[in-house]
Structure formats: C-alpha cells, structure tokens
Copies of this chain bind each other. A is one copy, B any other.
Amino acid sequence: MVFRLYYLVRRESAQLLTLTQGSVLSELVGRGPSRMSRLSRLERVRMPSMTDVVRRLERLGMVTRRPDPEDGRAVLVEATPEGERFYAEMIAGREAELRARLDRLDPAERAAIDAALPALTKLIADFHRDDPAAELAVTSEGGTDPR
C-alpha cells in the first residue's frame, strides 16, 4: 500500500525534479550547505552516484559547488536562490495535491489517518534505528505534511 501511495503522489507532483534530486534539494534548503559525503550518507547512496545527482542539480541551476575552506579534499554543495524558490513551489504543489485528496475523505477517515500518524512515524524511526547512517531526519510531521 505504501508503495502505491508513493507511486501516485510522486507521479502527480514533482515531474520536473526526480525523487532523489528533490530529496537532496530538500536537505540543502532545510539545513544549509553540505558535503558530498554527508549527502550520500543521508540518501543512502554511494558517493559516485551523488556526484552525478549533484552535477545534474548544478546544471539545472539549483545548486552550486565550492571547495570546503576547512578541508581541501571536501566539497560544499549549497542551494542557489533559484533552488530554494523551486523547492518551495514543489512542496506547496505536493501539499495542495495531497490536501485536496484528503479533503474528499470523510472527517472520520481523516481523523483515522491523523490518529495513525504517530504510529507510522514511530515505525519509520524503527527502520532507521537499524541503519548505520542513522543521522537522518525523521522530519517532525504533525498534521499532514505531505513530505
């Protein structure tokens, strides 16, 4: 079921950025500049894969890359103003979409979903607990944050 919902929400919104790109941009917008290694850990992807993702985001003008002044090996990736603007719009679109769907449910059904959110969040946290790269944000999502 989760698989289906994932598929569907994804298909409706976010047609311009892929899921991975969106996720990386989200991190950069929400938490500021980050190294490649951190991004790849967060996304659970190897560094070469992240190199490509960042290269594409850079080409789209969403992100810039500069050397880390504190460590000559490292690279700092940062969202551009365009990246921030775009991200805000993307989230707003997704949110609107999902909210419209939710509005078509009965109040009781919405209440049931809302009531299940803490448990679902905990379930997610449980998955993360097993994870070596445990830094991850289980983004606080009360209400019905569509992320």
Residues on A facing B (Cβ under 8 Å)? 1-12, 19, 23, 44, 101-102, 104-105, 109-110, 112-113, 115-124, 126-128, 138, 141, 145, 147
In the assembled complex, how far is the CB of residue A104 from the closest CB belonging to chain B, in whole angstroms? 6
Q: How far is the CB of A41 from chain B (nearest CB, A)?
A: 14
Give the number of times this chain occurs in the complex, counting copies: 2
Please indicate the chain B residues that have their CB under 8 angstroms from the CB of A116 in the complex: 112-113, 115-116
A-B contacts, 24 of them at CB < 8 A, read A1-B120, A1-B121, A1-B124, A1-B147, A2-B2, A2-B5, A2-B9, A3-B9, A3-B10, A4-B124, A4-B138, A6-B6, A7-B44, A8-B124, A8-B127, A8-B128, A12-B127, A104-B126, A105-B126, A109-B122, A110-B119, A112-B112, A115-B116, A116-B116
